[in-house]
Amino acid sequence: MKAFDKLFIDGAWVASSGTETLDVVDSVTEQVMATIPAGTAEDVDRAVAAARAAFESWSSTPVEERAKYLSRIGDALAARTDEIATAISKETGMVTWLSKLVQVGLPINSFKSAAALAESYQYEETVGNSLVVREPIGVVGCITPWNYPLHQIAAKAAYAIAAGCTVVLKPSEVAPVDAFILAEIIAEVGLPAGVFNLVSGVGPVVGEAIARHPDVDMVSFTGSTRAGTRVAQVGAETVKRVALELGGKSANVLLDDLDTEGFAKAVGDGVQKAFLNSGQTCSALTRMLVPRDRLAEAEQVAAAAVERVVVGDPFGEGVHLGPLASAAQRDRVQGYITKGIDEGATLVAGGPGAPEGLDTGYYVRPTVFSGVTPEMTIAQEEIFGPVLSILPYDDEDDAVRIANGVVYGLSGGVWSADKDRAVAVARRLRTGQVEINGGAFNANAPFGGYKQSGNGREYGRHGFEEFLETKSLQL
């Protein structure tokens, strides 16, 4: 077991003002794998003061210098890929080969991309008799989730630091080990003191203190819509900028012009997209919309796809899905599976309980429901587990109506034999990003949501600009 007993504030490892610690539990063994300090509001005060003191110098540091630090951080993360991926697989349950690609690979990309953006971005433009300049917003509070822990830290901290801001990070207490490794790397590369600060702890204490703090200029939060609403409410007290990346209930629309082969491909891909990271993905395509007369066909293909899914130890050979991240999350997902049965959905695959032989670890059976109606709980609420709902629709307009008929708008998918038709339908979806015929995730394209999926964007130029203010100089 690893004991992290200090916070990273003002370039140094320092003791928390409190004495309590939090256990980090291995999702595979259900044993404590690490402990971290339960930070306090006083710790946040110290971290914000350090960030505020460092801001003037860091914001005026040449962009080339900022970029060098970020590139070094990216290189150092790459050198510790195996260690970080192992920790995250234990924390979240993601299979380790995928953790290396996603949980570590994407953060490396974010630090490298942020470095390049810092150097290439045009910070000034002339508008009539005005010089319009973009400047770093100030001290940024970053509050991050447990499902893609380092990825979400990098999405915020890398771009904020690249933009010239200073950062106070509160990682999820469920999956914080990667954040401490990142802090170790930041210390090693010599990032100036106060530019990056880490205060671990729970949301109602540390997160609340960050969101409320008058010297925090912006909060960037990823997590549940309920918690994000609280961050926005508290942040409004000091009229700070708040960027939110929240829940999703994304629709994957399979149009009626797909031939048998294309339809089977779309259904199979859709099952994978719903189950990514054991369904612990905010942008997972958890609602599959199919023509009503092809519902039985979709059920057959989906059931066969689930049969091929291997659930087990994320460090095991040939495993596709590991456990969920915590007992609480497993119990939550089991509750939704039971709810789906109770409300009359047709169980196509999976169901309640753990997969056979997996009594230790937070495992859930990959589950597919069919005949789901739009008003059912499993069609409206984010489950955050390996549960796919197949909904029938009558025509294209009906499909769009069902797709848009939830409070969320984070992601989506459209499949069609005619790419132009797919794009036309995608444009009608009220959501932040849409895959066309299984289009690959782009780590440099803007990511974020409509409606209760949040506001603001992450990654690439759009994510970089979230951390900039706009000033007009009338000449």
Which positions are catalytic?
Answer: 245, 282
User: How far is it, in rounded angstroms, from Cα 96 to Cα 86?
Assistant: 6
- From the list 368, 365, 369, 381, the residue with the least C-alpha distance to 344 is 369
Cβ atoms < 10 Å from Cβ of 218: 23
Backbone angles phi, psi at 449, to 5 degrees: -125, 170
Interatomic CA distance for residues 456 and 240, integer angstroms: 14
Tokens 């470095």 correspond to what residue? 115
* φ, ψ for residue 375, nearest 5 deg: -85, -10
Looking from the CA of 341 toward its CB, the CA atoms found within 13 Å total 12
Whether the Cβ atoms of residue 441 and residue 281 lie closer than 8 Å to each other: no
Q: Which two tokens stand for residue 134?
A: 């973009």
SS3 content of the chain, % helix, strand, coil (to 5): 45, 20, 35
Distance CA 294, CA 423 (A): 22
- Look-up of token digits 């066969």: 304
